[in-house]
Amino acid sequence: MLTVSFLDIVKAHKKLQGQVLHTPLISSAALSALAGADVWLKLECQQKTGSFKVRGALNKIASLTAEELARGVITASAGNHAQGVAYAAALRGVSALIVVPSTAPETKKAGIRRYGAELVEHGNSYDEAESYAYELAKATGRTFVHAFEDDHIIAGQGTAGLEAMLAEPDFDAILVPAGGGGLICGVALAAKAINPQVQVIGVQTHASPPWYYSFREKRLADVVYNDSLADGLHGGISQGNLDLALEIVDDFVLVEEEHVAQAMYWLAKEHHLMVEGSGVVGVAALMQGVVGELAGKKVLTIVSGSNVDAAKLAGIVARYS
């Protein structure tokens, strides 16, 4: 059962000072014109390791005992959480073993190795990688660092939302990429503690929609998964994160794969940003008008990561140029 609170996010914010970047919060005139709203971007794509995930990883590693650190850590991830854990472990001189699915992008695997972690590829999905990582944790005695169902992880991710709300506390809505749920739960906790009226809306793709259906059915729904440009959002969710989200998140929406690609191109063209598919889903939702009732409102979206293979982004840019 998750027990994370706004106080935990405030404590994480203090703990992470000097360890993470206070990423830019910018107003986008171009996206505002398209969406008919006052749109702002929180650029976690410029965070250390290329995504918000390092926030939660650093906060979690800092919570471990000396005995747990000595045994080393292990995690499963599509890539960004893995890089965050590898980076956080390297700072503490802790051994890290990372399990990724075979579908993880090369740029993310390269980042994991760059930070000195041991990399194991297993399975074709996050769920398969996670199951194998749990087996290895039992066999090796390493501490498992979950990507999203963890109070310290959620509190760390929530600091991105806290930073944005401290700078601009009057947002009417926040669009958050929704993968496992660590980011959206953390952002929702922080945002609603500061402004209870703000709407927090998760964004997924039709290719990986567990939040969209589970939120509506108020249970873990069975869904069909397909390949997606938003690989970091690909995979199942947990009961703990769903229970928390049902209390603090307002809604979830879906975007098409083509819209994700268009948003990646648009951010490269208009803002000169290299952003992965998972990081642009909020932008895609605004460009396509799938949220509704945002006209004239002040809207934030988290641009959550930049770890996309250069060749893939180049192909997308060439397609739309």
pLDDT in tens, 260-280: 999 999 999 999 999 999 999
**How far is Cα 280 from Cα 81, in angstroms, rounded to an integer?**
17
* DSSP code, position 51: B
* pLDDT reported for residue 23: 98
* pLDDT reported for residue 136: 97
Q: Which residue has the tokens 């976690």?
A: 44
Identify whether the C-beta of residue 63 lies closer than 8 Å to the C-beta of residue 34.
no
**Residue extents of the structural domains in the chain:** 6-51+152-320, 53-144
Q: What is the SS3 assignment for 119?
A: strand
* pLDDT reported for residue 107: 83
Q: What is the SS3 assignment for 303?
A: strand
**How far is Cα 59 from Cα 263, in angstroms, rounded to an integer?**
31
Does the domain at 6-51+152-320 match CATH 3.40.50.300? Answer given as no
* pLDDT reported for residue 256: 98
* pLDDT reported for residue 277: 97
Report the 10 Å Cβ neighbour count for 122. Answer: 17
Query: CB neighbours of 309 closer than 8 A, spacing ≥ 6?
Result: 105, 106, 107
Please identify every stretch of the chain with a pLDDT value under 50, giving residue numbers as ranges: none
Query: CB neighbours of 58 closer than 8 A, spacing ≥ 6?
Result: 15, 16, 19, 20, 84, 87, 88, 91, 156
Q: Which residues pair with 42 in a beta bridge?
A: 25, 302
Of these residues, 15, 53, 108, 109, which one is catalytic?
53
Q: Is 38 left (phi over 0), alpha (psi -120 to 50) or beta?
A: beta
Strands 251-255 and 199-205: parallel
**How far is Cα 276 from Cα 305, in angstroms, rounded to an integer?**
6
Alpha helices by DSSP H, listed for 93-150, are 106-114, 126-140
Integer CA distances (angstroms), 161 to 151, 166, 203, in order: 16, 9, 16
How distant is the alpha carbon of residue 64 from its chain centre? Answer: 22
Same topology between domain 6-51+152-320 and domain 53-144: yes
Written out in words, the top-level CATH class of the domain with range 53-144 is: alpha beta
Integer CA distances (angstroms), 175 to 12, 119, 202, 235, 292, in order: 22, 32, 6, 19, 12
User: E strands, 5-104, where?
Assistant: 25-27, 38-43, 73-76, 96-100
Token couple for 101: 């699915």
* pLDDT reported for residue 103: 83
Supply the Cα-derived Rg of the chain in whole angstroms: 18
**How far is Cα 198 from Cα 299, in angstroms, rounded to an integer?**
10
Catalytic residue check, 53:
yes
Q: Is 45 exposed, middle or buried (0-12, 13-18, 19+ CB in 10 A)?
A: buried
* pLDDT reported for residue 235: 84
**How far is Cα 228 from Cα 206, in angstroms, rounded to an integer?**
9
Of these residues, 28, 77, 208, 304, which one is catalytic?
304
* pLDDT reported for residue 258: 98
